[in-house]
Structure 1
Amino acid sequence: MRFVEFTSHFSYLKNCHDGFTKGGCGTRWSARGNCSIIRAVPARDNSSDSHPPADNIANDELRVEDCSPSENSAAATLESLQMNPDLCKYCRKMCDNWPNPQDPEPHIVEEHHGSEKELQESAKKGCSICSLYLKVPFGRDRLFSINGRSWARKLDSTMTSAGASIESRAPGRALLTRHGYRRDGPYILVLYTPEPSLEGETSHVQGPYYHIRERILFPYRKPELEAILSADATRTTFDGLSTSNLWYKLCETTHQKCRSSVYSTFRPTRLVDLTATKPVLRTSPNFESDCKYATLSHCWGFTQYAVLTGDVLLNYHDEIPEAAISTTFKDAMTVAKYFGYRYIWIDSLCIIQDSEDDWRQESALMSKLYSNSGLNISAAGAKDGSVGCFFAREDNWLEIVSTISRGTRARYIVLDDNFESKLLDNMPLMRRGWALQERILAPRTIHFAKNQLFWECNEFHACESLPDGYQHEGSITRLGDDTPASEDLSVWQAIVLSYSFGELTDSKDKLVAISGLAQAVQSDLLGSYVAGLWRNGIESQLPWYMYGGHKHRPDDYRAPTWSWASVDGPISVSNRKPEQVFIRVHDVVIENATEGNIYGQIVSGSLSLTCKILLFGEVINFEHEISENMSGILITLRMDGGEFHAVFWPDSIQDEIPKDGVAAYVYVVPMILDKCYGLQGIFITPTGLVPGQYRRIGYFRSIDLPSDSDSDFNSDSALDHDLKGFREIILAEKLNVSDDAYARIITDEDGKLQRIIDIV
């Protein structure tokens, strides 16, 4: 019998955005849903600073502690968990063998319930740990196979590579180990229960599904903050302002990275003055010398409010009308004044909305405007202006449990390990494209989410449940001054990935809404900015792809097809350094909508590409999609007298190749060869306007299927043979297109012919 065994690495369970296991080579597909982890943060009793004893913990007792009156509501929230000593035999054994926290890598692994039904029955009988498991959603793992060949490593080998293993179709397994490297750090409690493959998916699924439930127990080291965590005292998120004031004072007085940009000489064009009886609009010459200001990030939504226009500009200098001040604006003004700010910047009140010139001028200042904000107020939970910043909390917004062992008590605040993602990143504001740069550029931000307040600054992340801070894990939220210049491109690609998930009310803002971040990231190492990409090393940035479903290309032009900004929806681009590059960008020509503003809207763009290889192929066969959330399609491509397989990701619905049996013809541009992801490139089609001019229609990848050997191509399978042949054509630089397929052919300084195509 094989047991689960983990080291302290668990990052492989999370953040796999594009279906590939991060950090590993080969073609390792994962269609796993998000794992759910609960963090339980010990808020220890003043009478004891010790960890639970390493042996015989609590004599198996996990229960709601005898709380003080202020903690009664928190205890009541866990009534349904049936906290009592009646642990099931599996949980009892686990508690009897609680690891010693002094061990370098303490961990135990025990057999556990093998099905959801068994877990539910155990919880009904009173097992408190099984009840805790059931309280959160579960993640799922499954494996795909195509044509009898696995497109993922088996679950046991995948997990072994990360320091763990689990036997296929085994009983459930529970493990308890340390989460992270700190000896005094938290524990993680993990449960795996198998589930049979779903009916109708047997041809695509190899092995069972696995339900994954995880909880993390965090040491909590600041008893003086326990009053803040009283659920009775914080019935609405407005009550969290006192906690956020502690964060603000800590940041303002001790965080050098957060103070450096706030004292710039930059002044916004307009600000809302909050000192008068009613808010009024001030212009730059009329600001006081110490012009500290707050900013607001919010969703416009579909509720209409009055906005600043050219004909009412002078009126706003006397008084901003009530019709222009939404509930969200009122709450934001309250927060700004609470923190001592006289001024606040709000887009609809500080930008002339019916002036294209003013909008372009102000949008070009976004980087400076948010970077110099003293405090960014994020109305994260509000879908529109009618909602506001403050929310009534549910009674169980804060959960507290405790363990008791030989008279020693430790209290734990229970949180999902993905709590930041679920409680903050899933809020309405975070789906707004503009919000990303506002969040990243501001030195400090308070997020008013529905459940609680979150704090982000350049040196610290915290929330009301974890007021003394937590380690941020997830998408990029800060630009660090200490980031090496060599990582600038990786930082930008991470930003683009996050940004691609956002939504924009006006499609033409695609490049504008990220322009502030582009200005902040720009460096000599990156070179000039061209339609969302950087000129230096642009060859490795061109093979981006769409995943998670396709949309129509926007009707209004906003970027050339070779730019990710030309499409809507999540995109991905590898930040790995390619082993071989088969293209060279000869020239890039961009016409900007505003002269001198290379970061804003563009009118047109053309990329001249020198190709080592340009192939012409006929797509003759389609297989099913590789993954329900990847949108990659296994295709058969006939070219140069042979048939080859590749995976194709179309850029949009218009670019999808028909699947009705009619052959489709494409030009194939191999771009890079990567050790992990194989050969990558794009499919293009002629525009029909100018000879040698093309538009991009999608991305392709030739994928080496996993084998039992380290060699990429040592299998006798027909599919492996075809992929090997595809690559051999590329590496041999065999051409099967005539010279008239190119825009021009030039002779370089070494006397070699350079064949160039234009992509628009």
Structure 2
Amino acid sequence: MEGEAETTNTSLCDVCLTISLDEMRGPNCDRMQPHQPSYWALKQSVKQGCRLCGFIWTALGQSKSSSDGEPGTLVLEHVSERYPGREISLVGWGGGCPDSYLDRLQVITSGEIPDISDSEESVDGHGDPTMHPAHGFALSGVLDIFADADDPAAWHGGVTGRSLPMSDGSSETDFAFVSCCLDDCLSNHVSCHANQNPYLPSRVLDLGPFDRSHTPYLLETSGEMRARYATLSHCWGGNVSLTTTTSNLPAHKHAVPMPSMPPTFQNAVQITRQLGLQYLWIDSLCILQDSREDWETESLKMGIIYRDSFITIAARAARNSQGGCFIPRVQKVPSCQITYRSPSLRNPKTGEIFIRDPAFPLERIRDTPLDQRGWVLQEKMLSPRIIYYGAQQLYWECRERSVRQDGKYYDMQREPLRYTHFKQGLDLYAPYRSAFGGFHGPVKPDLDEKRLELAVRMGQWYRLVEEYSRRKLTFGSDKLPAIAGIAKEFARTTGRGYIAGLWREDVRIGILWRREGDLRENDCTGISQKLPSWSWARFDGEVSFWVRSGGLLMVPDESCTVVDISCRTTDSLGIYGDVSEAKIQLRGHVAPVFCTTLADPNSGLKRFGEMILDDPRLGLDLLDVELFCLLVYAGAHGSRPMGLALRRVGDALTFLRVGYVLDSHQY
């Protein structure tokens, strides 16, 4: 057993000693195995020292309530006192693997309990959590399981997980993982057909022969050389210690010595050489950092650079260029073990299955430094292959496969943005009917396959914007340029017209975005006020779209029509860059509304619906100010009408968007 602490099964209670994983896997099995008969029994077993029952108690305590969705808000002590008789069971889960495999165990309890918040005092003042009976939820938890690769529990029992690696990402074992994934991709993946002989970017680091006898130097290719190359995806984290400028360009064309490079760059050079590649593209070295002209020229090519790269090396856990790709690992992880016994009577097998302590903090991909940066999203989306160097292990992603080094289930489909389908879609390769789901609204009865395909693609775009909006940018002026590469590819493969972050053919639905949470408080220098108020790009914070699939699937609704739309841009990115002016002319139903406090219950005013201000700081400023509600979608068959809150500016027919309106009635 490597990388994780071992314990013996002598610390288990009688119930845990009888756990049989074979009863929880396979297509013909119930897959649910009763565990402790009640919270009370589980609690007593924990007190008596059963390590696994303790893990189960911890996992249940991490349950997410339906009201806030945040883990760790549950006080299990209070639940066990108020609901002592709820039965606890274990369910095997294979993730994306066949039914005969096991990736983790799910802990479930019988029945629902009211929502609980430990942040409020109860009415009796004793400090017990407040119960909200209207918001019931089922208590559940997850236990990660793993086994050694040569153990019967793995090759006979179907346990897919392995222990976390002890090495920092630079060992022969680590590179063997990368090499295995790469070989499989090149040999078997039809949709990963990257350009085998692409043009090199304008500048690349030339690493010299594979014997490492030459010092790297900056090569200017004039866009006429062809060869495979790697790209680096990394966090700048403020100032990068090594950049190329107009003054040091001649020196860098002669040599960029390894000792002068920060750790992330050094590691990227080492990985590139291991992969047998001679060229590496790093943004801070290959774009002149003090030349606006060079930045605009090269940023035009950014999407193509990542799209045509052979592989992208991603320093997922590094906050800046000093962090490196190779991160020292935590070598001991608390775990307990249970005995695996095969059901075969003729040739019985026994082995060991390890269960990881759920209190141990596993790396959350969405919370890693790299995955919080705005520019990185298009690097992720456009690269044909990516190898992520995380804090605990390596991750592989390509257009057909995603793999974790520990063998655990790792599927990009489980993320809010379905990366695989979107990346496949950029090459017109995607299982569109299976990709589409979650549409809210009536569907056109005569929808053909082509329109369904395009509708799915629009839904993917809106999900991408939602994901992008949660990420951070250092400069607000980068809001549109940072996804220009993705927008270009989307336009190329769909034929749609791009304008200020939206699509002309679907702009009526695209303007129906809403703010999620408050304005972002970060170091961003501010979003350009020249961006139109109706574009999500104007808002510095997280947004969501109610109609994610666009208008293509919806029954025709003429509540609002687009008469004209125009846009002027300010930089070399053209329609994909920063906007200097944009206008949209709409024809629809407009009604005057007033925002006011309802201090007087006898005021006679009636609530129409919900208005979410784009800028919550405007709340008091809009009290008793005449606003207008533009009906954009009338709603039908159980859906709710939606519109925009507008404020008049200038002449009588010019308005500024100030919010999103959702009617409280369904139709």
TM-score range, shorter chain: 0.7 to 0.9
Contact kept, 8 Å, 2:21 with 2:340, in 1: the verdict is no
1:582 aligns with 2:559: yes
**How much has 1:592 moved relative to structure 2?**
1.3
- Counterpart Cα distance in 2 of 1:432 and 1:614: 39
Letter in 1 for 2:397: E
Equivalent residues in 2 for 1:206-605 (5 A)?
Answer: 206=134, 211-215=139-143, 234-239=166-171, 240-258=174-192, 260-275=193-208, 277-285=214-222, 289=226, 291-320=227-256, 325-396=261-332, 401-405=337-341, 408-412=349-353, 414=355, 422-466=363-407, 472-474=413-415, 475-478=417-420, 479-480=423-424, 481-483=428-430, 484=432, 485-486=453-454, 487-523=456-492, 525=494, 527-551=496-520, 554=526, 556-557=528-529, 559-573=531-545, 574-576=547-549, 577-579=553-555, 580-594=557-571, 597-605=574-582
With over 3 angstroms needed to count, the CA separation of the structure-2 counterparts of 1:454 and 1:524, relative to structure 1, is closer
CA shift digits 1:481-535 (9 cap, x unpaired) = 3235422211111211111111001110000111111111125756200111111
Does structure 2 retain, via aligned residues, the 8 Å contact 1:111–1:172?
no
AA at the equivalent of 2:593 = G
* Per-residue Cα deviation, 1:32-78 (whole angstroms, up to 9, x for no partner): xxxxxxxxxxxxxxxxxxxxxxxxxxxxxxxxxxxxxxx1653xx24
TM-fit CA distance, 1:87 = 2.2
SS class of match (2:414): coil
Query: Structure 2 vs 1, CA of residues 353 and 257 (structure 1 numbering), >3 Å: closer, same or farther?
Result: same
Q: How many angstroms apart in 2 are the aligned matches of 1:421 and 1:372? A: 33
Is this contact kept in 2: 1:177–1:189, CA < 8 A? yes
User: SS where residue 662 of structure 2 aligns?
Assistant: strand
The residue that corresponds to 1:126 in the other structure is 49
Hey, what does 2:106 align to over in structure 1?
Answer: 189
AA at the equivalent of 1:139: S
Please state how far the C-alpha of 1:699 moved relative to its aligned partner. Answer: 0.9
CA deviation profile, 1:529-552 (whole Å, cap 9, x unmatched): 011111112211111111122348
Cα distance in structure 2, aligned partners of 1:97 and 1:112:
21
Q: How does 1:663-678 map to 2 (within 5 A)?
A: 663-672=624-633, 673=635, 675=637, 677-678=639-640
The amino acid that maps onto 2:49 is G
Give the aligned partner of residue 680 of structure 1.
642
Alignment check: 8 A CA contact 1:544 1:699 kept: yes
Q: 1:454 to 1:675 in 2, by over 3 A?
A: farther
Percent identity, please. Answer: 22
Alignment of 1:165-204 (within 5 A): 171-179=85-93, 182-186=98-102, 188-192=105-109, 197-198=116-117, 199-200=120-121
1:669 maps to amino acid: L
2: distance between equivalents of 1:418 and 1:343?
Answer: 43
- The 8 Å contact of residues 51 and 336 in structure 2, kept in 1 or not, is answered as no
**CA separation of 1:463/1:197 partners in 2, compared to 1, >3 Å: closer, same or farther?**
closer
Deviation string, structure 1 residues 76-114 (Cα, Å, up to 9, x no partner): x244xx73374265x578769945735265434566443
Is 2:583 aligned against 1:606? yes
TM-score, with structure 1 as normaliser: 0.69
Which residue number in structure 1 is paired with residue 592 of structure 2?
616
Matched residue pairs, number?
A: 586
Counterpart Cα distance in 1 of 2:85 and 2:637? 37
Distance 1:403 1:666, change over 3 A: farther
C-alpha contact (below 8 Å) 1:686/1:694 kept by paired residues? yes
Is the contact made by 2:386 and 2:397 (CA closer than 8 Å) also made in structure 1?
yes
Question: Contact (CA 8 Å) 1:169, 1:208: kept in 2 or not?
Answer: no
Match of 2:370, SS state, is helix
Counterpart residue type for residue 468 of structure 2 = Y
Q: CA RMSD in A?
A: 3.9
CA distance in 2, matches of 1:287, 1:268: 9
CA distance in 2, matches of 1:608, 1:549: 29
Structure 1 residues 419, 123: closer, same or farther in 2, change over 3 A? closer
Given that residues 281 and 318 in structure 1 are in contact (C-alpha distance below 8 angstroms), is that contact kept between their aligned partners in structure 2?
yes
Q: Distance in 2 between the 1:277 and 1:564 partners? A: 49
Range with greater deviation from structure 2 (503-512 or 479-488): 479-488
Distance in structure 1 (CA, Å) of the matches to 2:21 and 2:365: 37
| Higher RCO by CA contacts (8 Å cutoff, separation 6 or greater) | 1
Instruction: Tell me the distance in 1 between the aligned counterparts of 2:627 and 2:263.
Output: 54
Distance change in 2, residues 1:196/1:398 (3 Å): closer
- 1:194-219: per-residue Cα shift (whole Å, max 9, x none)? 58744447596636676431236589
Task: Report the Cα offset of residue 609 of structure 1.
Answer: 1.0
AA paired with 1:359? W
Structure 2 stretches of 5 or more lacking a match?
Answer: 69-81, 123-129, 343-347, 433-452
Quote how far apart the aligned CAs of 1:608 are.
0.9
How many angstroms apart in 2 are the aligned matches of 1:262 and 1:330? 26
Distance 2:233 2:267 in 1: 12
Q: 1:697: how far off? A: 1.1
Which segment drifts farther, 438-447 or 119-128?
A: 119-128
Summarize deviations over 1:709-739 as a string: whole Å, max 9, x none.
Answer: xxx5xxxxxxxxxxxxxx8xxxxxxxxxxxx
Q: 1:203 to 1:222 in 2, by over 3 A?
A: closer
Partners of 2:598 and 2:664 in 1: how far apart?
A: 16
Q: Residues 675 and 379 (structure 1 numbering): CA distance in 2 closer, same or farther, change over 3 Å?
A: farther
Partner amino acid, structure 2, of 1:482: Y
Q: For 1:139, what is the secondary structure of its paired residue?
A: coil
Whether contact under 8 Å (1:172, 1:191) holds in the other structure is: no
Which 10-residue stretch deviates more, 321-330 or 464-473? Answer: 464-473
Per-residue deviation, 1:336:
0.8
Q: Which runs of 5+ in 1 are unaligned?
A: 1-70, 145-167, 624-634, 705-711, 713-726, 728-760
What are the Cα deviations for residues 622-680 of structure 1, in whole angstroms up to 9, with x where unaligned? 69xxxxxxxxxxx99x9xx9623312222123433459xx5343211121125455111
Instruction: Give the deviation of 1:419 after TM superposition.
Output: 11
Equivalent residue of 2:64, what SS?
strand
**8 Å CA contact 1:243, 1:467 repeated in 2:** no
The aligned runs of 1:39-58 (5 Å cut-off) are none
